[in-house]
A and B are shown apart, each in its own frame.
Chain A
Amino acid sequence: MFADFLFRRLSLLLFMLFALTAFTFALNYLFPGDLLTNFSGELNANYSQTQILEQKYHIDDNLLIQYQAFLVRLFQGDWGLSLSSGQAVFGHVKQLFPATIELCVYALIVALCLGIPAGVICSAYHNKWPDKVISSLTLLGFSIPVFWLALLLIMIFCLSFGWFPMSGRIGLLYEIPPVTNFILLDIWLHDFPYGGQAFADALHHLTLPTVVLAMYPTTVLVRFTRDSMLTVLEQNYIKTARAKGLNRRQLILDHALRNALLPVIKQIGLQFSTLITLAMVTEVIFSWPGIGRWMIESIYQRDYPAIQGGLLAVSFFVIFANMLADVIHTLLDPLARNQAHGKV
């Protein structure tokens, strides 16, 4: 039954990828400027180079063959050259994407660590003051635009108090060679003489961007966990357990929480696309060297191959993340498999 579900999901994935690549391919025609330049990123190709490029990109063949060649190049990692740097787009993506994922992962960890317990507390003290306080704060956090929050925090904590730096991942004097591209891990892996200072400095740099980015998913998780817990707490098996004399802590932690978390897991996956979008804004404001900042720079510089590459990478990632969350959710929740079949 699960294999059947997986097959359906995979065919959907394939269709999505097809639509995405077709759209990206079409962008070459939709962007202004020379078609070959949009494809290759070669700005000043001379006659012989143009000939080679035309052959490589099958410009004289029909669209289907061009698209096929485009797909082959995509899988080979040949995503063209960036117009502004003259370097391979795929190289940029490989270098910058991990920094964005890192930020999202830290924000998600913060969101999980704060959001789920806060949601549980809300449901445990339903309609009492902890629930009311947390719910109001959540509403506030949910409503604040991320860029405004970022600027506010920078103004207060960076410029007025000088407590935090306002840009980058780590003080520039610390030279940490990227291994995993997760800065804290890299510092730990790399035997750097100033490791302790670097670690503290990296945490210092991480704080504000993570807080800003975590704000939205945290509030969403609080609300979801709260609602989900309340629904579960209404279930008959909980009532039975309560009738058996279990206390509130036992009820919530041992019986309700696992079931209540199932829809929350699905929600985490869905949050990823929002999270990536918000990460882009956060990256620009905090000069975080990730793919979002690079893409926005590329748009500003009309660097079409870079815009395409960035778009493709981010969309791939969001689709995969969603799919993965869906699969995990289905693995953990047998009922969801039936729903996927439309049998219930």
Chain B
Amino acid sequence: MPLPAHLGIRWLLPITALLCTLLSGCGDRTAQAQRKIQGIVYCAEANPISFNPQVTTTGSTIDIIANQLYNTLISIDPLTAEFRPELATAWEISEDGKQITFTLRKDVTFHSTDYFTPTRTMNADDVVFSFNRLFDVYNPFHFVGDANYPYFQSVGMDQLIRRIVKVDDYTVRFELFSSESSFLSNIATDFAVILSQEYAMQLVEQENKQDFDMLPVGTGPYKYKGFLRDNLIRYHKHPGYWKHDLAMDQLVYDITTNNTSRIAKMLTKECDITAHPSATQLETLAARSDIRVDKAVNLNVGYWAFNTEKPPFDNVLVRKALAHSIDFQKIMKAVFYGNGIQARSILPPSSWAFQTQAMPSYDPERAREFLIQAGYPDGFEMDLWAMPVSRIYNPNARKMAELIQSDLREIGIRATIVEYEWNTFLERVGKHEHDSVLLGWAADTPDPDNFFSPLLSCTATFSGKNPANWCHPEFDLLLTQALDTTDLQQRKQFYQQAQQMLIAELPVVPIAHGMRFQASNTSVMGIELRPFGGISLANARKN
């Protein structure tokens, strides 16, 4: 066909030239890239709130940042529950239990990133700095951000530590006001990470302290590369990682808040690992030969918390009425699909301090009586906040909220379901703006205190972690007594009293303990799902 007159030969030359360049360029590069790009894509359920585990307790954030970017002094073996050395090679506790001395590992390098190049390896200064930041108001970073260290404040560590002393370059001593049985467990949590003092000082010089929690520098197997909100987080391999050389070139978190989209991406192989598939989707996933579904027992509890400072929820009769109005069996069936157990206490049965409690049963008649006694014969209106994300302890809070809403209608209470984006949701719950909220807790250590102090102590109320906004001096006393002793039997007794008190007062109604699920491509190995704490991808690799 002859070319139209207006498309003359003069157009043809540059177009041909461009096409040739494009094609030849591609050709060269294809030759270079015979090897396939290496990396793991993890589909995460929410944006991280921060990149420093010291300042948050949000499980979705901890999963993404804690074990990948950082190391702790010691860790807890998931099988034997014994302490294992990490950045500390040895530790020694004085006879009175008030001095704990850690010997540090040598030649541990910090991440070298676009924004920081370390000049020295990790030493005692870094450890002292990391913990001082949490407890010492004179530390230049103590007030950076919101000056909130929810985990450590809620377990009362700031009241416990007298000082942290650098004995020599590789020895650090913690001096405590009193001995406390859960101290080592708390030091082994994902929150007690070691940060670089040198990096912190660089930021002080640059007058840019705000970046400290958002542009992380740690000693973990991966280093931070970039974060695009609602899209992805990119980590690169840390070449000099002290433990091993297993890491992939990249670890990318694909932030996919929608449950169904996450599973669909797993099916189209866009994700190598998917967080929290819901129970309804497990069958579809298990039917595929290229997908493996891991199931792990996890210490957690899903509960319904009432804001006990707000009327009418400050009245225990109202709380009892609400607790008796909900049909737990229906929730277990419709939300957990048989992959969870109904709660018999706030502690999961696998905890050593667990004791079955006489939980409020489904009894609308009794609930109505309680309401009348409390002076609300016609019911009232309330908000019911439901988490927007799927968590181990509550795979579908929206559905649970709808079931509770219909149960409440039976006794004349009109509940409105409220939802916000996950991080906003937590922030608002922290400010105690809610009436009642469906939330939960996954343990960071096997110690039972981890279920009580961070959730229901008075200090937790002040640090915005106590969703029931409940501060009961007697209950706090029980927790303190339990921590003051190392006698296991005695501790057990105190915790059992605490559990009884919770059922009598009902600041929270424990609903269920869930299982942790994870779907991964069969070519991915070495994912460590722990019964407590976040997930570790330090050993994960792809064949």
Q: Mask for A134-174, Cβ within 8 A of B = 1, else 0?
A: 00000000000000000000100011001011111001111
Interface size in chain A (residues, C-beta < 8 A)? 36
A166 touching B268, Cβ below 8 Å: yes
Main secondary structure of the interface of B (DSSP, over half): mixed
Interface size on B, residues (CB 8 A): 38
Closest to B248 in A: A173
Asked whether A289 is an interface residue with its Cβ less than 8 Å from the other chain, the reply is yes
Which of the 9-residue segments A48-56, A194-202, A212-220 touches chain B?
A194-202
Residues of A with C-beta under 8 A to B250: 173, 175
Q: Which of B259-293 contact A (CB under 8 A)?
A: 261, 264-265, 267-270
B252 at the interface (CB under 8 A from A): yes
Judged by a CB distance under 8 angstroms, whether B423 is at the interface is yes
Do residues B261 and A172 form an inter-chain contact, with CB atoms below 8 A? no
Q: Give the segment of A8-16, A294-302, A334-342 that binds chain B.
A: A294-302
A-B contact count, CB below 8 Å?
A: 92
Contact A289 B231 (CB under 8 A): yes
Contacting chain A: which of B31-39, B215-223, B516-524? B31-39
Contact B25 A84 (CB under 8 A): no
Task: Assess whether B423 is in contact with A84, with CB atoms less than 8 Å apart.
Answer: yes
Which residues on the A side are within 8 Å of B228 (C-beta)?
Answer: 289
- CB neighbors of B among A177-209 (8 A): 188, 192-197, 199
Residues of chain B with a CB closer than 8 A to A162's CB:
267-269
What is the chain B residue whose CB lies nearest that of A172?
B252
Instruction: Kindly list chain A residues whose C-beta atoms are within 8 Å of the C-beta of B270.
Output: 165-168, 171-172
- Contacts of B25 on A, CB cut-off 8 Å? 188, 195
Q: In this assembly, does B315 line the interface, its C-beta being within 8 Å of a C-beta of chain A?
A: no
B232, A172: Cβ atoms closer than 8 Å: yes
Tell me whether B424 is interfacial, beta carbon within 8 Å: yes
Is A166 a contact of B252 with CB atoms below 8 Å?
Answer: no
Contact B37 A173 (CB under 8 A): yes
Q: Is B254 engaged at the interface, CB distance under 8 Å to the other chain?
A: yes
Q: How far is the CA of A167 from the CA of B267 in the complex (A)?
A: 12
A253 close to chain B: CB less than 8 A:
yes
Q: 8 other contacts beyond A171-B270, A172-B252, A196-B26, with CB at 8 A cut-off?
A: A164-B268, A167-B270, A172-B41, A173-B38, A195-B25, A195-B26, A287-B261, A300-B421
Name B residues whose Cβ lies closer than 8 Å to a Cβ of A.
1, 4-5, 22, 25-27, 29-30, 32-33, 36-39, 41, 225, 228-232, 234, 250, 252, 254, 256, 261, 264-265, 267-270, 420-421, 423-424
**Could you pull out 20 A-B pairs where Cβ atoms are within 8 angstroms?**
A85-B229, A158-B264, A162-B267, A165-B270, A166-B264, A167-B254, A171-B270, A172-B234, A172-B254, A173-B38, A173-B39, A173-B250, A194-B37, A195-B32, A196-B33, A197-B30, A253-B4, A287-B261, A289-B231, A301-B424
Rank and list the top 7 A-B pairs by shortest CB-CB distance, nearest first: A196-B30, A195-B29, A173-B39, A194-B33, A172-B252, A196-B29, A301-B421
